[in-house]
Structure 1
Amino acid sequence: MTAARVLVVVPTYDEAENVGPILDRLHRSVPGAHALVVDDGSPDGTGELAEALAARDERVHVLRRTVKAGLGPAYVAGFRWGRARGYDVLVEMDADGSHHPEQLPALLAALTEADLALGSRYVPGGRVEDWPAHRLLLSRAGNLWTRWALRLPLADATGGFRAVRGELVDRLPFDDVASHGYCFQVDWAWRAVRTGARVVEVPITFTERIAGRSKMTLSIVGEALVRVTWWGLQDRLAERLPGRVRRPVSGRVREGRRSNAVR
């Protein structure tokens, strides 16, 4: 993976305070990586600021959208933009500093033996910093429910810091992904495992944002609960219906180890 072209997709909505510093940290950590800021019409000027950064740095690109369509559609648009331009590896990363760009080299290194590297808060070595107790409890409970309902062997299926080989993105049916919030992360991780992709969880540190406001809402949590429950029911019903054969969950999932930096 040392010669791979890496594109870090960074969705934004009202992240003017954060987008510049996070891109600086990214390029200090992985100088050869390019970044695509996908802005959903931020009223605080995030899109304009990102374009100013792009004018000064050829590694920064901007995809501006006119409406706030949600996390899932932003990532799908970013993936398509990147694959159309020949990037070999696509990375998801939040703009608010919750994900540490300094840990991206470990995710990239994991792709030497995997198709998808998930940054995980809940494997040994992973941790969460500065979250209130109710947020941590909600996240833990959501992942436990997801693991049981979907029979998905992942400790942190909802995490949004991940790196994927472009070939896997091409194989996954993103056209019918309807999830808008963080449920999108569960949706496509589940699809990846079920297609037989090699998946590895790499321990990361997740830190609560310092500036700006969280985009998490009760409606986003509700969407995740309803969709995961419905997918799990459909999966189990498919096993019981005559003539229906459930596609086996054949992806190989393992816990990753901290790796040396890859440039």
Structure 2
Amino acid sequence: MGKKVIIIPTYNEAQNIAPIIRRVRVYDKDSSILVVDDSSPDGTARIVTGMMTNDNKISLLLRKGKEGLGKAYLHAFKEVLMKNETEWIQTLDADFSHDPKYLPAMSKASNDADVVIGSRYVLGGGTSGWPFWRRFLSKFANFYCKVITGMPVSDTTAGFYLMRTKFMREAGLDNITSNGHAFQIELKYRLWKKGARIVEIPVVLPDRNLGKSKMSKGIIGEAVWAPWKMRLNKLI
């Protein structure tokens, strides 16, 4: 595959950022890594800066403050897309929700796809350590989004995916207003509407190992309305 950038958004991930980058390098020694940090008060950015001295393919995008996952990703996407040599963008959470061991399989699947999603809801995928209520809510939310939007995707809220930049450039990123889980849904919807071939491969997502969950009622509420907004407003 062509040049790839792995984007890792962070906010207060000082406990996780060095271990996750080291684990990425076990499975992917060549790709660039861009950490986009929303000025974490716990010193996440300082740790990344220290790691940059030993790995010249690590870079840091330091933002002014916490604005949410969607805005952080959009900022990072725009930075990467300005460099025309990048052909692929990989998203990855810092908290070990997304195990880098799946990176080689995702890269292999990209031979026949434009978007590769690490999916909990295809055969072989799943979750580990999640309470029943969380598994039920997640499965229902994804079924809900799939039915309303018509997307042929089982894990619409997945945050672990690989995208061909050609389609990202055509997807109208400047018009995305969603954040949180709704951002994940809207981005996939836009890529699909532009004709991107989407493939899902099975992954197992564990509960968070370290740090604090950033889920909120606002994030959940936005995700409930987002599919209707896409369908009724004919987003694209």
> Cα offset for 1:162?
0.3
Q: What is residue 180 of structure 2 aligned with on the other side?
A: 181
Are the counterparts in 1 of residues 88 and 164 from structure 2 also a CA contact under 8 Å? yes
- Distance in 1 of aligned mates of 2:233 and 2:208: 36
- Distance in 2 of aligned mates of 1:116 and 1:144: 20
Spell out, residue by residue over 1:54-76, the C-alpha distance to the aligned partner (whole angstroms, 9 max, x if none). Answer: 12211211000011111111111
Q: What is residue 156 of structure 2 aligned with on the other side?
A: 157
- Distance in 1 of aligned mates of 2:176 and 2:167: 15
- Distance in 2 of aligned mates of 1:13 and 1:71: 9
3-state SS of 2:163 partner: strand
Which amino acid in 2 is paired with 1:18?
N
Q: What is residue 75 of structure 1 aligned with on the other side?
A: 73
Are the counterparts in 1 of residues 70 and 180 from structure 2 also a CA contact under 8 Å? yes
Q: What is residue 36 of structure 1 aligned with on the other side?
A: 34
Q: What is residue 119 of structure 1 aligned with on the other side?
A: 118
Spell out, residue by residue over 1:136-167, the C-alpha distance to the aligned partner (whole angstroms, 9 max, x if none). Answer: 11111110110111111110010000001111
> Cα offset for 1:232?
2.8
- 1:227 aligns to 2:226 (yes or no): yes
Residue 9 of structure 2, aligned match among 8, 11, 16: 11
Are the counterparts in 1 of residues 8 and 92 from structure 2 also a CA contact under 8 Å? yes
Q: What is residue 212 of structure 2 aligned with on the other side?
A: 213
Which amino acid in 2 is paired with 1:41?
S
Which amino acid in 2 is paired with 1:58?
N
For the aligned residues, what is the CA RMSD? 1.4
Which amino acid in 1 is paired with 2:5?
L
What is the aligned length? 235
User: Stretches of 4+ moved more than 4 A in 1?
Assistant: none
Which amino acid in 2 is paired with 1:39?
D
3-state SS of 1:124 partner: coil
> Cα offset for 1:84?
2.1
3-state SS of 2:205 partner: strand
Are the counterparts in 1 of residues 167 and 194 from structure 2 also a CA contact under 8 Å? no
Which amino acid in 1 is paired with 2:181?
Y
- 1:194 aligns to 2:193 (yes or no): yes
3-state SS of 1:7 partner: strand
Residue 48 of structure 1, aligned match among 43, 46, 49: 46
- Report sequence identity in percent: 35
Stretch deviating more after TM superposition (137-146 or 225-234) = 225-234
- Distance in 1 of aligned mates of 2:229 and 2:3: 37
Instruction: Give the greater-gyration-radius structure (CA).
Output: 1
How high is the TM-score relative to the length of structure 2?
0.96
3-state SS of 1:188 partner: helix
* Structure 1: 5+ residue stretches without partners: 236-245, 248-263
